[in-house]
Amino acid sequence: MRDYPDIQGAFLKEGYRISRVGVMGLKRPVRIQRPDREVNLVPVFNISVNLPADQKGSHMSRHIEVINRALDLAVGIKNDSLEKLVGRIAKELLRSHDYATYADVELETDYFMERESPDGRRVTENYRLLAEAKIERGDDKPTRTIGVEVAGMSACPCAMETVRSMLKDELLQEGYEPSEVAILDQVPAPTHNQRNITTLKLEFNDDIDIEANELIELVEGALSSPSYEMLKRKGEGKVVLDAHRNPRFVEDIIREIIGRFLERYTDLPGDMILHVRSLSEESIHKHDAFAERISTLSELRG
Amino acid sequence: MRDYPDIQGAFLKEGYRISRVGVMGLKRPVRIQRPDREVNLVPVFNISVNLPADQKGSHMSRHIEVINRALDLAVGIKNDSLEKLVGRIAKELLRSHDYATYADVELETDYFMERESPDGRRVTENYRLLAEAKIERGDDKPTRTIGVEVAGMSACPCAMETVRSMLKDELLQEGYEPSEVAILDQVPAPTHNQRNITTLKLEFNDDIDIEANELIELVEGALSSPSYEMLKRKGEGKVVLDAHRNPRFVEDIIREIIGRFLERYTDLPGDMILHVRSLSEESIHKHDAFAERISTLSELRG
Amino acid sequence: MRDYPDIQGAFLKEGYRISRVGVMGLKRPVRIQRPDREVNLVPVFNISVNLPADQKGSHMSRHIEVINRALDLAVGIKNDSLEKLVGRIAKELLRSHDYATYADVELETDYFMERESPDGRRVTENYRLLAEAKIERGDDKPTRTIGVEVAGMSACPCAMETVRSMLKDELLQEGYEPSEVAILDQVPAPTHNQRNITTLKLEFNDDIDIEANELIELVEGALSSPSYEMLKRKGEGKVVLDAHRNPRFVEDIIREIIGRFLERYTDLPGDMILHVRSLSEESIHKHDAFAERISTLSELRG
Amino acid sequence: MRDYPDIQGAFLKEGYRISRVGVMGLKRPVRIQRPDREVNLVPVFNISVNLPADQKGSHMSRHIEVINRALDLAVGIKNDSLEKLVGRIAKELLRSHDYATYADVELETDYFMERESPDGRRVTENYRLLAEAKIERGDDKPTRTIGVEVAGMSACPCAMETVRSMLKDELLQEGYEPSEVAILDQVPAPTHNQRNITTLKLEFNDDIDIEANELIELVEGALSSPSYEMLKRKGEGKVVLDAHRNPRFVEDIIREIIGRFLERYTDLPGDMILHVRSLSEESIHKHDAFAERISTLSELRG
């Protein structure tokens, strides 16, 4: 067979090191075998390795070969979690690219989960899953990240109190008695609310298998309310009331998630990094509001 | 000068007619000289012509030449409205592509307008402008479209009544008297609200110069409330209250715009086509709700 | 059970008809049972109905109920093609919304297909599938559309001849003989090439089951070359050569698809509408080039 | 005037620190007065500060006030560079949010520059500018970043040699003599080429005013070829030839930029951080190829 020139392998005398070289936006279906169910996902992958100063190029097709091998059920590889899958790919990248000392992979995918709506229906809700792994040659294990992205509802606590105050003033001016008006303190007042997108990511070095479903439930519990694809009139009312009884800034959502996480997962390693980010697509503004916290568990445990 | 082969101009014996061939996504700054002010815009252009069955290709660079000529202030062309600009481009396209019998151009651009916020501040708000023109050879004038896209707030009228009803029930169950609870009918109840994106487009054949600013104000008036980039506490409360006193489905917004348009513009030609579209990025759902109406003014006037 | 007010059902005295009201961006996993295989898809759905002038609102949750029913395998519904699925949803929408006389649904989804690369490897390639159905009350059957979106490679025939001509001129000026230079006419010259996105859609009223895989292969055959996720050196060379031996304008791609389609499918009904669109993300420009043709088969058959 | 409750200012006993809280996606026109010209830009801003553990919320409207003040020409503020503008905003954010110890701002905007095309025409080309500033309380100056994003052309050096080799083999098999075929070594062979997006960012602490135009030219010079919005036949041929005489992997582009930068800017501080990233939207693949290098100038100078 004819041997075509290996341009990538060419030796460079005065090159510069490349921090990362790889492929972005590779779509490939993935099947994960969880203990209790099989999950079909369609992730988008980004994959890269570093490149020493004296080598002209990286062999990009090896990236794809690694992905192919990792996903090929035919050869008997069983992926039982996303974090194992990305960890396996990262290690395999270093094996394939012998000139590289660093490799990483990240993926993002739609994910669906059955939830019970407030009016008691089973609904299929849509989320996003994220997973990453990066490894330095010599590392015992890759650093892995798993994460969930959840859309739900945030309701503003500040505007609610301003509105309550304005409504009471108006009624008093119309001649109502303070005692009559006081009932407005017993019920939530209107406020602006909106679609909120919150992401929770965990970065760790040990072998940890956290159920994405649990992370999703944890995040949903920290929003003003989860959102649902299917609500009849009563369910809609309950969601709105729920959100207005839990009005939350993006800052509140971040803190609520941290608090719930620390309470729920007490034995995770202190060097695990928590990355929480919440974005509200403000209904009263054309821009979005966001907050984030990145921290180790040790630091958060104080 | 060397003459390179004109592959596009090649004669095809058994070709098929091409409905549209052109360029998409061309960005180019534009200056519009309105009677009272100069407006700097950065539109994205799509431009195309048709192609007869017997010609291999279209000369794409002529599209860009036409745009260049139309935008070149140096040659003394003064664009005093977007609809004149796109009309001029459409006519020029037919002149440049002598084999074409049809030409069109569309553009979309950010647009900024000063507004007064409910707490009395001057704020710069962001909108989108749209303009299109299409022409058949032999037409006296191109058909032009101008449009505005406005982000604002929609509040759901249905959930508001459900929530009001639930809150009253709860208070009655807690032992309050019906007479005490009745005050809840005097104030807006909480409901889900969200960012809403509404587009109003007008298609016409005559020479009409409608101020985009007026269309924007008309759309904003038909939403539950405009949104503002800058609100202090009191302004925020006013916007929320305003929105809750005008709760509107996307269907309502469409109808409100039609009604206001017919009332405001009484002498526009009956063959003008109104295209109204409203989309609410639902806070209680992960999907959006939308409604649209496309109709001539004659039909709407009934 | 408490009955909450049906705001949507309210009677309007002076309303306007709404052309379409519905939901956009609903994601939901779908399983299609093809004769030879099971296909898992994750489509995004848009769904709408019209609304008479005298009704305030549409019951949006019914849209979702219809989707749920259509996708619920538990109740024994077997979807054996996307066009049957969307047809079923459209009919069901009219049944659910008794006030509506029009309904439509459209979906778009990633799709994967095994292909053989030019160096003989099995590769999983990524495409998009589209499906639509719309129905007027009284119609026997909904009008359905199915389509495929294919990314591949386009190489410019015009620049190739210019470059060939320039290269020959250069060599002659360097002192080569015309007879020596003539060999350049035997091989493809360099030209600009780029990622091309081509869409083929079919709209029809009869019950037709066309394999998406066949449409994808037909489109790939009409490009300068298909693209592949995984190519070793020799395969890469073959793809580049293949593309340069089939240099094509977007206009050429459109015509090639029409020609191949008419030849391949001879007994499809004449009122079927073919919609072909091709877009090249030009490497020599910052904008894209595109062409499209929309036509009935009758007209194309001439 | 009525004083509404300051919910954001509320004291939290057991809160968590928030790393960043702010607004995203704020669009606002900006006028920059360069020594030789006035530049109108339409950036999108992201702005944030940190928040101590004991404060409930951040006063988001102050973010917008700061932007307003920084952009308000009426009050006599003259922005003569993007890096000064973002630096000023960062400092002002800390002044406005007295509880914060960190602030940052980033913006991104379209930018247009006149270039001369290879066929000698003046063409308006489209780029992107980026600017960031971040500051810790107590810092003398904010850390600023400026950057440019440039779309151009990359041509693959590896496929070119494979194709050249294949073409020569084919001709030899067809009976040509090696001496006849040798002329193919004198001209560039076909290869895959594509739209490439390359970003160059500089992060620094000193007061440095680098012309974005120079950075854009530097990046364009490091690509296989710049791209142009407007090319006649000859110009198109020249661009294709130029690109094929400078075939470059994304890795090559990174290194070329670093080399050119070090040569052009010899007196910049060693702690300046260079971030170069190049992405090729591969024509032979459905995914993209990318490379990046992040490094101080000291390290690069070796």
Which chains have 3 or more CB–CB distances shorter than 8 Å to chain D?
A: A, B, C
D125, D159, D180 member nearest C236 (Cβ): D159
What's chain D's average pLDDT?
93
Q: Would you state the pLDDT for residue D72?
A: 67
Alpha-carbon distance values, B95 to A70, A94, A129, B138 (Å): 58, 60, 53, 12
Closest to D272 measured CA to CA, from D284, D288, D261, D256: D261
Instruction: Of A65-79, B280-294, C202-216, D236-250, give the lowest mean pLDDT range.
Output: A65-79
Does D291 contact A20 at a Cβ distance shorter than 8 Å?
yes
Bridge partners of B24? B46, C288
Q: How far apart are the first and last CA of chain A?
A: 64
- Tell me, yes or no, whether A102 and A173 share the same domain: no
- The CA angle B194-B200-B202, to the nearest 5 degrees, is 175
Identify residues of D whose CB sits under 8 angstroms from chain B CBs. 1-2, 4, 6, 26-29, 40, 42, 61, 64-65, 68, 110, 112, 124, 126, 229-234, 237
Which sign does the torsion angle of CA B53, B57, B59, B64 carry?
A: positive
pLDDT at A44: 97
| D2 lies in some domain | no
Q: What percent of chain A has pLDDT over 70?
A: 97
pLDDT score of C156: 97
Mark yes or no for CB contact A194/B190 under 8 Å: no
CB contact under 8 A, B282 and A183: no
Residue D171 lies in a domain: no
Do the chains contact at C61 and A231, CB–CB below 8 Å?
A: yes
Mean pLDDT value across residues B210-219: 96
A166 and A211 together in one domain = no
Residue B237 and residue D126: Cβ atoms within 8 Å? no
How much is the mean pLDDT over chain A? Answer: 93
More confident residue, C298 or B38: C298
Chain D residues closer than 8 Å to B2 by CB? 234
User: Residue B63 above 90 pLDDT?
Assistant: no
State the pLDDT confidence band at B77, using cuts at 50, 70 and 90.
low
Q: Quick check: B6 pLDDT over 80? A: yes
Going by C-beta distance under 8 Å and a sequence separation of 6 or more, which residues neighbour residue C301? C262, C270
- Is the same domain home to A216 and A87? yes
Per-residue pLDDT band for B9 (boundaries 50, 70, 90) equals confident
Residue B193 near residue A154, CB atoms below 8 Å: no
> For chain D, how many structural domains are there in total?
1
- What residues in B contact A239, CB-CB < 8 Å? 192, 284
CA C115 to chain centre: 18
Name the E strands within D189-265.
193-204, 225-226
B241 → closest Cβ in A151, A163, A238: A163
CB < 8 Å to A172, chain D:
none
ipTM: 0.94
pLDDT exceeds cutoff 80 at A250:
yes
Interface size A-C, in CB pairs within 8 Å, comes to 54
In a domain, B56, yes or no: yes
The better pLDDT of the pair B107, B4 is held by B107
Residue C173 maps to a domain: no
CB contact under 8 A, B24 and C290: yes
The Cα–Cα gap between B112 and B40 comes to 10
Q: Are C210 and C203 in contact (CB under 8 A)?
A: no
pLDDT of residue C65: 87
Structure confidence by residue, pLDDT tens digits, A55-106: 989 988 888 888 888 776 545 567 889 999 999 999 999 999 999 999 999 9
For D142-175, b where at least 16 C-beta lie within 10 A, e where not — what string?
bbbbbbbbbbbbbbbbbbbbbbbbbbbeebeeee
Residue D117 within a domain:
yes
Please tell me whether residues A80 and A165 are part of one structural domain: no
| Alpha carbon distance B129, A186 (integer Å) | 45
Predicted pLDDT of residue A77: 62
Please report, for the domain that includes residue D60, its CATH number.
3.10.270.10
> Which pLDDT score is estimated for C262?
97
Task: Report CB contact under 8 Å: A158, B191.
Answer: no
- Whether residue B176 is contained in a domain is answered as no
Examine the pLDDT at B165 and tell me if it is beyond 90: yes
What is the tens place of the pLDDT at every residue in D226-235?
999 999 999 9
Whether residues A232 and A187 fall in one domain: no
Query: Is C161 part of a structural domain of the chain?
Result: no
Residues A65 and A170 both lie in one domain: no
Instruction: Please indicate, yes or no, whether residues A174 and A251 belong to a single structural domain of this protein.
Output: no
Contact C112 A2 (CB under 8 A): no
- Most A-contacting residue of B124, B154, B192 (CB-CB within 10 A), to test interface: B192
Instruction: State pTM to two decimals.
Output: 0.95
Residue B74 has pLDDT above 60, yes or no: no
Range of the domain at C102: 18-156+192-301
Q: Are residues A168 and A215 in the same domain?
A: no
- In total, the C-beta contacts within 8 angstroms joining chain A to chain D are 154
Answer yes or no: is pLDDT of D77 > 70. no
| Chain B, nearest residue to A228 by Cα | B285
Name the minimum distance, in Å, from the CA of B182 to any CA of chain A: 10
Query: What is the arithmetic mean of pLDDT over D90-116?
Result: 95
Chains that touch B (3 or more CB pairs under 8 A): A, C, D
**Stronger pLDDT, A176 or C9, i.e. the higher one:** A176
Tokens matching residue D274: 């260079």
Question: What are chain C's partners, defined as 3 or more CB pairs within 8 angstroms?
Answer: A, B, D
Nearest neighbour of A18 by CB, restricted to D165, D251, D289:
D251
Contact check, Cβ <8 Å, C64/A230: yes
Which run of H or E residues covers position B165?
helix B157-173
Q: How far is B2 from chain D (nearest CA, A)?
A: 9
pLDDT of the residue at B76: 54
At which of A170, A191, A212 does a domain end? A191
Residue D85 in any domain: the answer is yes
Which range, of A3-7, A102-106, B161-165, averages the lowest pLDDT?
Answer: A3-7
Q: Is the dihedral of CA A243, A248, A249, A251 positive or negative?
A: negative
**A5 vs D contacts (CB less than 8 Å):** 158, 161-162, 165
Question: Smallest Cβ distance to B158: which of C7, C48, C291?
Answer: C7
Locate D281 and state its tokens: 């939207």
Sites in chain C below the pLDDT cut of 50: 74
CB contact under 8 A, C237 and D190: no
3-class DSSP state of D249: coil
| Of C60, C285, C300, Cβ closest to residue B16 | C300
Same domain, residue pair A182 and A276: no
**Shortest Cα distance from B23 to chain C (angstroms)?**
4
Q: Burial code of D278-301, b = ≥16 C-beta within 10 A, e = fewer?
A: bbbbbbbbbbbbbbbbebebeebe
Q: Which of D7, D55, D253 to mutate to test the interface with A (most CBs of A within 10 A)?
A: D7
